[in-house]
């Protein structure tokens, strides 16, 4: 149970049950659809980008707890940040969830994103944790085709 | 030529016992005896692939250690042995599904390849623009996509017989969809995602009334119930060895002899020819016409050993045991608050799909895995079925001849653990 509680931390279960910024934006400049065909996760990320910063961000769709919570925490974390900060957060988040389970993750300064460090113990679930980030990245890059984790 | 090589093959089905000694049977399956995440493995994913008994593993090993050679090629002793083993396996498959003739059995990689063979050979010869193919709404992707590819190429149309809320084919609609334009019907015997057992005999009769040939996808039926192609009257049937306790990479296509003989080859190469010049090639007889290249001899031998194993236990006894397991599982799971069954057919096999309110199947799968319990989560290669029931995915527990009531208790306990983990009040 301890490993599982490590994965399904209260913060993750909370954000899964009550996802933040779970809606469509009335005014948006960028959006993209992300697919995780293995488990049926499918989310859309909407962004309003002004002066190279994320003025607003929201998401919709269905997904597992890891996917939904990751999208929810991501939207909270990146709102108001410069795009270069967002990309650097994505890099660090990616390292946290894909790092070796034998090494302690560097989560300093990552805030709530650190809650996803448990994912590195579950390689089958990395795609769930990163889907929202890949989708946001594609939206910012203005790629029109759906993102897939495959 | 029901037994081309004159090799005696034991007919084991007749004096098989009527109940299974599951504890003893479990001793035959090495993979079942291991710890997963510190817990004894509870393997409830046999609809995806079954574990293999020692006799199958040993048959493959013995083939490579003693008999390995190419088939139908050389005059030397090993080649003769390999040929005999391979053709004996064909006869075992023939008898297992009660085909009239061993030439009606073509070895393929699995059910998927069998369907693709029929689509590419029979389909490309007989399907023309404006024709229709009929499937059901519960098909596995492997019984959808090959027909879509064929329809695209030929400008033909794929029709889909609907299913009801229980996950059963609506027979009246199915019957109406068979018209003069229908050139082939392809239906699953047992749904991999819903567990539904289709009334295939009746469905085949309805198609035959309009002279439409029928392919039956027997991938899930092969390990679960006695197959009899002459009794149900199908024109084609496909099975996958790996779902029948045999190795991966081997399966069989059954086709009525006159159909197979009229069909063009599927792939070209060695084995499938009678003579080759640069001007003209004449093809070998069936089944070899459809087995280009060196076949998967070792796994065909393993397939034969798996059929021996199933016959020794008796398909009736296996079906009864799995029926008992699925009834027990449904009763136990029904008591869990928030659990919804996807697929509640009256006639069903040992497959139980469900969703749990507010917990995604993928999370259930991870949590159960931590308890050593292996189930399948996702869309089960049946996305149209998921759409029909309005769910992105389900959790699926499926049972094989080696599963026990205690394993169902573990599954239920695991689901309660997931619910506990997700309750945050």
Read off the pLDDT of residues B205-224 as tens digits, 9 standing for 90 and up. Answer: 999 999 999 999 999 999 99
- What does the alpha-carbon distance between residue B341 and residue B391 come to, in Å, rounded to a whole number? 11
Closest CA to B250 of B311, B301, B211: B301
Q: Which two tokens stand for residue B131?
A: 């024709």
Instruction: Say which of A1, A40, A125 has its CB closest to residue B379.
Output: A40
pLDDT at B367 over 90: yes
Read off the pLDDT of residues A28-44 as tens digits, 9 standing for 90 and up. Answer: 999 999 998 777 789 99
pLDDT at B2 over 70: no
Interfacial B residues in 27-56 facing A (CB < 8 Å): 37
What does pTM read for this prediction? 0.91
pLDDT at B14 over 90: no
- More confident of the two residues B380 and B228: B228
pLDDT band (50, 70, 90) for residue B424? low
Question: What per-residue confidence (pLDDT) applies to B6?
Answer: 46
Chain A, nearest residue to B361 by Cα: A64
pLDDT band (50, 70, 90) for residue B261? very high
Question: What per-residue confidence (pLDDT) applies to A142?
Answer: 80
pLDDT at B104 over 50: yes
* Token pair 């010049």: residue: B277
Asked if A41 contacts A63 with a C-beta cutoff of 8 angstroms, the reply is yes
Written out in words, the top-level CATH class of the domain with range B63-311 is: alpha beta
For residue B361, which residues of chain A lie inside 8 Å, CB to CB? 39-40, 64
Helices (H) and strands (E) in chain B, counts: 15, 17
Under 8 Å CB pairs connecting chains A and B tally to 63
Question: What per-residue confidence (pLDDT) applies to B275?
Answer: 85
Beta bridge partners of B132: B157, B182
The yes-or-no answer on residue B381 being catalytic is yes
pLDDT at A134 over 80: yes
Read off the pLDDT of residues B285-324 as tens digits, 9 standing for 90 and up. Answer: 999 999 999 999 999 999 999 999 999 999 999 999 999 9
Average pLDDT over residues B194-203: 98
Question: What per-residue confidence (pLDDT) applies to B159?
Answer: 98
pLDDT at B139 over 70: yes
- More confident of the two residues B7 and A39: A39
Interface test with B, best of A2, A3, A4 (most B CBs within 10 A): A4
Q: Lowest-pLDDT range, A122-126, B24-28, B60-64, B330-334? A: A122-126
* The domains spanning B42-50+314-418 and B63-311 adopt the same CATH topology: no
Q: Percentages helix, strand, coil for chain A, rounded to the nearest 5?
A: 50, 20, 30
Q: Percentages helix, strand, coil for chain B, rounded to the nearest 5?
A: 45, 20, 40
Question: What per-residue confidence (pLDDT) applies to B4?
Answer: 45
* Mean of pLDDT over chain B: 93
Question: What per-residue confidence (pLDDT) applies to B273?
Answer: 81
Q: Which two tokens stand for residue B110?
A: 């699995």
Question: What per-residue confidence (pLDDT) applies to A102?
Answer: 86
CB contact under 8 A, A4 and B379: no
Helix axis angle, B405-422 relative to B361-370, nearest 10°?
A: 120
Read off the pLDDT of residues A48-73 as tens digits, 9 standing for 90 and up. Answer: 999 999 999 999 999 999 999 999 99
Pick the CATH number of B42-50+314-418 from 3.40.50.300, 3.40.190.10, 3.90.1150.10, 1.20.1050.10: 3.90.1150.10
pLDDT at B106 over 90: yes
Interfacial B residues in 144-163 facing A (CB < 8 Å): none
CATH number of A2-142: 3.90.1010.10
Neighbours of B384 (CB within 10 A): 18
Instruction: Say which of A10, A42, A122 has its CB closest to residue B424.
Output: A10
Average pLDDT over residues B14-35: 87
Domain boundaries, chain B: 42-50+314-418, 63-311
Catalytic hit among B151, B234, B328, B381: B381
């Amino acid at each position: 149970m301890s490993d599982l509680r490590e994965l399904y931390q209260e913060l993750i279960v909370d954000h899964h049950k009550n996802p933040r910024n779970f809606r469509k934006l009335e005014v948006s400049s960028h959006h993209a659809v992300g697919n995780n065909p293995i488990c049926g996760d499918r989310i859309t990320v909407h962004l309003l980008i002004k002066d190279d910063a994320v003025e607003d961000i929201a998401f919709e769709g269905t997904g597992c707890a890891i996917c939904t919570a990751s999208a929810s925490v991501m939207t909270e974390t990146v709102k108001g940040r410069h795009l270069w900060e967002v990309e650097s957060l994505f890099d660090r988040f990616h390292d946290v969830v894909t790092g070796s389970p034998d090494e302690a993750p560097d989560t300093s300064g990552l805030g709530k994103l650190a809650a996803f460090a448990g994912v590195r113990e579950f390689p089958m679930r990395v795609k769930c944790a990163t889907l929202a980030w890949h989708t946001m990245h594609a939206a910012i890059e203005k790629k029109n085709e759906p993102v897939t984790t495959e | 030529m029901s037994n081309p090589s004159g090799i005696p093959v034991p007919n084991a089905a007749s004096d098989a016992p009527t109940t299974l000694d599951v504890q003893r049977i479990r001793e035959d399956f090495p993979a079942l005896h291991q710890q997963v995440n510190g817990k004894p493995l509870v393997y409830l994913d046999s609809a995806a692939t079954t574990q293999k008994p020692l006799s199958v593993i040993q048959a493959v090993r013995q083939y490579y250690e003693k008999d390995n050679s190419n088939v139908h090629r050389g005059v030397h002793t090993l080649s003769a042995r390999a040929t005999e083993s391979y053709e004996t396996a064909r006869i075992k498959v023939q008898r297992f599904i009660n085909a009239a003739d061993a030439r009606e059995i073509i070895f393929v990689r699995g059910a998927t390849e069998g369907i693709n063979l029929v689509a590419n050979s029979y389909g490309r010869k007989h399907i023309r623009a404006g024709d229709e193919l009929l499937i059901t709404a519960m098909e596995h992707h492997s019984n959808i996509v090959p027909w879509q590819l064929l329809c695209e190429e030929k400008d033909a149309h794929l029709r889909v017989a609907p299913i009801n809320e229980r996950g059963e084919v609506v027979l009246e609609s199915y019957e109406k969809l068979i018209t003069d334009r229908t050139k082939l019907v392809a239906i699953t015997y047992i749904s991999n995602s819903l567990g539904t057992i289709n009334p295939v005999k009746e469905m085949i009769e309805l198609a035959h009334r309009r002279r439409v040939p029928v392919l039956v996808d027997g991938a899930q039926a092969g390990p679960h119930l006695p197959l009899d192609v002459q009794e149900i009257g199908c024109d084609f049937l496909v099975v996958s060895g790996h779902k029948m306790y045999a190795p991966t990479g081997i399966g069989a296509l059954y086709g009525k002899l006159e159909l197979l003989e009229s069909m063009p080859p599927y792939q070209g190469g060695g084995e499938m020819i009678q003579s080759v010049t640069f001007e003209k090639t004449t093809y070998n007889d069936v089944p070899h016409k459809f087995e280009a290249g060196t076949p998967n001899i070792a796994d065909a031998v393993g397939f034969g050993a798996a059929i021996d194993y199933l016959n020794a236990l008796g398909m009736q006894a296996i079906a009864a045991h799995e029926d008992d397991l699925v009834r027990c599982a449904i009763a136990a799971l029904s008591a869990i608050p928030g659990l919804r069954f996807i697929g509640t057919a009256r006639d069903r096999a040992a497959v139980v799909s469900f969703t749990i309110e507010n917990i995604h199947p993928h999370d259930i799968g991870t949590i159960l895995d931590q308890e050593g319990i292996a189930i399948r989560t996702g869309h089960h290669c049946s996305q149209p079925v998921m759409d029909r029931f309005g769910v992105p995915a389900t959790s699926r527990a499926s049972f094989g001849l080696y599963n026990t009531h205690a394993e169902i208790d573990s599954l239920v306990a695991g689901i309660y653990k997931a619910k506990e983990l997700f309750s945050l009040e």
